[in-house]
Structure 1
Amino acid sequence: MSANRILRQRNFASAQEELRRSAPARGAQEQTPSYRLAFADEEFLLREELRPVRMQLELLKPELLQQEAGIEATLVIFGSARIPEPAQARAALETAQRSGDADAERRARKQLEFSAYYEEARRLAEIVTRETQACGTPIYVVTGGGPGIMEAGNRGAYETGGKSIGLNIVLPHEQHPNAYITPELCFRFHYFAMRKFHFLMRSVALVAFPGGYGTLDELFEALCLIQTGKCRPRPILMFGREFWSRVIDFDYLVDSGMISPGDEKLFRFVDSAEEAWQVLEHEYDLKNNAQCSTP
């Protein structure tokens, strides 16, 4: 053994080593829950009093794994899990038309209309992934990891040969990860708060496609943090001017004094993947950035 290696030896056994060399339990004392190593005692870690520790673990695990993967900049894509892929939407409309159910046909037509957003989310992820892979700091797409718009974002990155991240959440009706997330970057959260924290930690921009309560929650948390100066400004792109203008009357919020004049400028509307990319390209000068030039 070299002297250099001896100088760098650990002074204490690692937790893994300690666990591996633990002998099988003998006697009544060693078989009790109190005798288990705390870090290997699942029952103990799941106690109500250990919630702060579990929250810290949910902060640390994705953070460390993304650090190890070299991920420094992300584009966050928010949007509804209920927006289908166009081919699926067309097939659903044909089925509804054959059924003779007018309400079902009306809903299916609306789904087909909204499926255009799936395609735009997929194309935006494809453009961002392709155009920044040669950068010194590539931009990775991150989504909530589920179906709909989330699937479209991960799919766009996958289809252009890039990696992407999925931040899944445990729900009463289980949400499974979509098939396009890079497996080693597929995370699962218990706490919504920790999940939203990770959405923002590395984000250089956020894109909100049409969605419901979950999308609104994620969008307004980002707007509030930027408005109050709790995090640095960054582009917030609301995809689909017609949808968002009907859902939220920002002019009325200003007129009624609920937000200050200028707060409506914390975001901007976009209506195509190319328009969204142009905003990012301009904001970060990606076109003239030598680090992003093709070798």
Structure 2
Amino acid sequence: MKSRPRSPVPHPPEPFDRVRPLPSPLSSLASDDPEAAARVLAILESPSYRLASEDIDFLSSDAVRGLRLQMDYLKPEFGLRAAKVERTIVVFGSSRICEPGEALRRVEALRAKRPSGDAPDYERSLAIAERLLANSRYYEIARAFGRIVAEANAAAGDGRTLIVTGGGPGVMEAANRGAFEAGAESIGLNISLPREQFPNPYVSPELCFNFHYFALRKLHFLQRAMALVAFPGGYGTLDELFEVLTLSQTRKIRPMPIVLVGEQHWRKTVDFDFLVDEGVVDPEDRDLFWYAETADDIWAGIEKWERERAERFDPEA
């Protein structure tokens, strides 16, 4: 039986262009249906024809909330993995506690506008501004703590333990700023809000992420956390603090160092001893955290806690 001659190997085709275009509906209809082009254009402009990945209305709909949750998790996760971030120290605190010089300027500006006569609203505004001036010391403590963590990270040699904050102003800015001034990277997990707001200028650009969902932001705060440091703050700080306390209490996460900065402030804010006395919190849960007053105190306490944990539970590590 005669073997067939081998067919020649064809040249590779152009990767994008064809020699002869594929058939188009317009080419066959244009001659006998002058309205065909307009109808095709209407189809192309219809929302149903948009690519799903480019259809903002579709992506914003209730039906695909599950996909948005996944994306809210995955984008920061891939970014943190690419940066080889292994451990974080979370810093929470008020966005209203500003740098001491700025706090002083605000007080002086108010004092210069003192009205004549009885002005209870003015007196209250001035009193709050003066309290924020007194509390501006926490800005400097957070700034110093960010610097300490950055220097300890550099001394460790791997550079993979970073400060993470909510990325906003106030105490968050201070912690990021301390790391920045020490030449270290730091992370900011910002949140999109109805009122436009911006990340502080000291977060590393490639490590600043913007979340839609608070829940996914909380997850990323804790996923790599080795410690939590809570400065005086409002609802947001309390929300994050009690989340971590509850997760530690129930052992949904392994307990970590939880430091409340400013004992006098925190004892007024939350009477933890009262909760223990009332029987709604166990005494051992009161020991999930401790108080500190300075940046050095915070860091020394975290180091001591970690040493003791290793000795008690990882003796062979």
Q: Which category of TM-score, normalised to the shorter sequence, fits these structures? A: 0.7 to 0.9
Matched ranges for 1:169-248 at <5 A:
169-248=191-270
Q: 1:37 corresponds to which residue?
A: 51
Alignment match, 2:9: none
Aligned match of 1:103: 124
Matched pairs, number = 261
Query: Offset at 1:260?
Result: 1.2
SS at match of 2:96: coil
Of residues 82, 87, 92 in structure 2, which corresponds to 1:73? 87
Please state how far the C-alpha of 1:238 moved relative to its aligned partner.
0.5
Q: Decide whether the 8 Å contact of 2:84 with 2:160 is kept in 1.
A: no
**In 2, distance between residues paired with 1:166 and 1:240?**
23
| Distance (whole Å) between structure 2 residues aligned to residue 117 and residue 30 of structure 1 | 57
Q: Does 1:159 align with 2:173?
A: no
Give structure 1 stretches of 5+ with no counterpart.
1-25, 286-295
Conserved? CA contact 1:168–1:175, under 8 Å = no
Per the TM alignment, residue 119 of structure 1 is displaced from its structure 2 partner at its CA by 0.4
Deviation at 1:233, TM superposition (A): 0.9
Give the distance between the partners of 1:209 and 1:111, measured in 2 at CA.
13
Structure 1 residue 89 displacement after superposition: 1.0
Question: In the aligned structure 2, how far is the partner of 1:33 from the partner of 1:171?
Answer: 27
Task: Tell me the equivalent position of 1:130.
Answer: 151
Rate the CA distance shift 1:105–1:29 in 2: closer, same or farther, 3 A: closer
Separation of aligned partners in 2, 1:188 and 1:36: 26
- 1:51 is matched with 65
Is residue 2:298 matched to residue 1:276?
Answer: yes
Query: SS at 1:142's partner residue?
Result: strand
Task: Name the structure 2 match of 1:14.
Answer: none
Q: What is the one-letter code of the residue matched to 1:234? A: M
Q: Do 1:196 and 1:218's aligned partners in 2 also have CA atoms closer than 8 Å?
A: yes
Task: Kindly name which structure, 1 or 2, has the bigger radius of gyration based on alpha carbons.
Answer: 2
User: How far off its partner does 1:282 sit?
Assistant: 2.4
**Post-superposition CA distance 1:168-213 (Å, at most 9, x none):** 1112222211111111111111111111111111110000000011
C-alpha separation between the residues in 1 aligned to 2:249 and 2:236?
20
Q: TM-score, normalised by structure 1?
A: 0.84
Percent identity over paired residues: 49
Q: What's the counterpart of residue 87 of structure 1?
A: 101
> 1-side partners of 2:44 and 2:262: how far apart?
62
Q: Does residue 64 of structure 1 match 2:78?
A: yes
Shift of 1:31: 4.0
The residue matched to 2:110 in structure 1 has which SS?
helix
Shift of 1:33: 2.8
What's the secondary structure of 1:274's corresponding residue?
A: helix
Tell me if structure 2 keeps the 8 A contact 1:72–1:137.
no
The whole-number CA distance in structure 2 between the counterparts of 1:143 and 1:92 is 25
Question: Secondary structure of the residue that 1:121 maps to in structure 2?
Answer: helix
1:32: how far off?
3.1
Partner of 1:56, secondary structure, is helix
1:118 counterpart = 2:132: no
Check whether the contact 2:231–2:261 (CA below 8 A) recurs between aligned residues.
Answer: yes
Is the CA contact 1:93–1:105 (under 8 Å) kept in the aligned structure 2? yes
Deviation at 1:40, TM superposition (A): 2.7
TM-score (norm 2): 0.79
CA distance in 1, matches of 2:211, 2:162: 19
Counterpart secondary structure, 1:178: coil
3-state DSSP of counterpart to 2:69: helix
8 Å CA contact retained: 1:146, 1:178: yes
RMSD, matched Cα: 1.7
**Shift of the alpha carbon at 1:29?**
4.1
